[in-house]
């Protein structure tokens, strides 16, 4: 249902374009069917758009340091035959400046009752770039990711600090086809590795849920999930 509701956003964007012109979507990390069976969350509108005949193209953030975009989202796009390019994490702002991104869709690991979103590190920077360039920024989320006990994501959500070796080393396929790991930093340089960041609700165009699309605000979430709000009363 996240995909069904998200499809309406893509249909409206496609309707403003010339016939056959693609809708360019940027995503970050992996929120696909490898994580959420059959459709995924952020990828679900993409798959529904493909089935609906809307020409789409996906900008896939590499998502350093674990490279979930490069390894997982790219693999899913390949498997479904969806045109895409893998980009470095810092390329999104440049693409937005030059009109090459029509919207951003990301997933979330935890959403506050007021609409702040905690997702893979780098999501906040994409939201800032989108806001500065007038690009819609949507978050696709199943309602169980909403934590109704938390209001201020920046103040209340603890951010996991992962091992520094994920930053100083990169794993990948070697020329001989084997999977190997290489160090990319000098000996003696430690890595700092916050795994997530919080995107404030003011930067979010809307939340795409299984019940529909709502604004990222206490009022928007309360209207969409009145039963859940009452459960927390």
Q: Do 182 and 138 belong to one domain?
A: no
Q: Above 60 in pLDDT, residue 233?
A: no
Q: Does the pLDDT of residue 178 top 60, yes or no?
A: yes
Residues 94 and 125 in one domain: yes
Enter the tokens of residue 179: 């999977």
CA distances from 47 to 51, 52, 88, 104 (A): 6, 9, 23, 15
222 and 109 part of one domain: yes
Q: What is the pTM of this model?
A: 0.96
> What sign for the dihedral angle of Cα 219, 223, 225, 229?
positive
Average pLDDT estimate for 167-196:
96
Are 168 and 188 part of one and the same domain? yes
Please indicate, yes or no, whether residues 124 and 25 belong to a single structural domain of this protein: yes
186 and 152 within one domain: no
Looking at the annotation, which residues are catalytic? 109
- DSSP symbols for 112-140: ETTS-EEEETTHHHHHHHHHHHT--EEEE
Per-residue model confidence as pLDDT tens digits over 108-148: 999 999 999 999 999 999 999 999 999 999 999 999 999 99
Q: What percent of the chain has pLDDT over 90?
A: 94
Judge whether 216 and 139 are in contact, CB under 8 Å: yes
Beta partners for 111?
A: 117, 146
Are 170 and 75 part of one and the same domain?
Answer: no
201 within 8 A of 216, measured Cβ to Cβ: yes
Pair 140, 60 in one domain: yes
Residue 87 sits in the same domain as residue 177: no
16 shares a domain with 101: yes
User: 34-62 pLDDT, tens per residue?
Assistant: 878 889 999 999 999 999 999 999 999 99
- 90: domain CATH number? 3.40.50.10470
pLDDT tens digits, residue range 205-232?
999 999 999 999 999 999 999 988 766 6
By residue range, what is the domain housing residue 144?
2-160+196-231
Residues 94 and 179 in one domain: no
- The total number of structural domains in the chain stands at 2
Dist CA 132 CA 150 (whole Å): 27
Q: Is residue 61 domain-shared with residue 6, that is, in the same domain?
A: yes
Q: In this structure, are residues 61 and 101 in contact, taking their beta carbons and an 8 Å threshold?
A: no
Reply yes or no on whether the pLDDT at 4 is more than 70.
Answer: yes
Buried b (16+ CB within 10 A) or exposed e, 166-181: bbbebeeeeeeeeeee
The two three-digit tokens of residue 181, written as one number = 């790991």
């Amino acid at each position: 249902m996240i995909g069904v509701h998200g499809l309406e956003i893509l249909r409206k964007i496609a309707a403003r374009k010339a016939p056959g012109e693609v809708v360019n979507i940027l995503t970050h990390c992996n929120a696909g069917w490898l994580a959420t069976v059959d459709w995924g969350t952020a990828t679900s509108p993409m798959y529904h758009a493909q089935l609906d005949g809307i020409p789409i193209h996906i900008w896939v953030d590499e998502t350093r340091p674990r490279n979930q975009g490069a390894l997982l989202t790219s693999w899913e796009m390949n498997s479904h035959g969806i045109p895409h390019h893998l980009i470095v994490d810092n390329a999104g702002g440049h693409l937005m400046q030059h009109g090459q991104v029509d919207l951003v869709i990301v997933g979330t690991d935890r959403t506050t009752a007021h609409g702040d979103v905690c997702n893979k590190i780098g999501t906040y920077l994409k939201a800032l770039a989108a806001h500065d360039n007038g690009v819609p920024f949507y978050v696709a989320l199943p309602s169980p990711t909403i934590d109704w006990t938390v209001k201020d994501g920046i103040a209340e959500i603890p951010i996991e600090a992962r091992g520094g070796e994920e930053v100083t080393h990169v794993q990948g396929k070697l020329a001989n086809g084997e999977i190997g790991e290489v160090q990319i930093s000098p000996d003696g340089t430690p890595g700092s590795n916050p795994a997530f960041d919080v995107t404030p609700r003011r930067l979010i165009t809307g939340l795409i849920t299984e019940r529909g699309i709502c604004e990222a605000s206490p009022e928007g979430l309360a209207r969409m999930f009145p039963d859940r709000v009452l459960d927390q009363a």
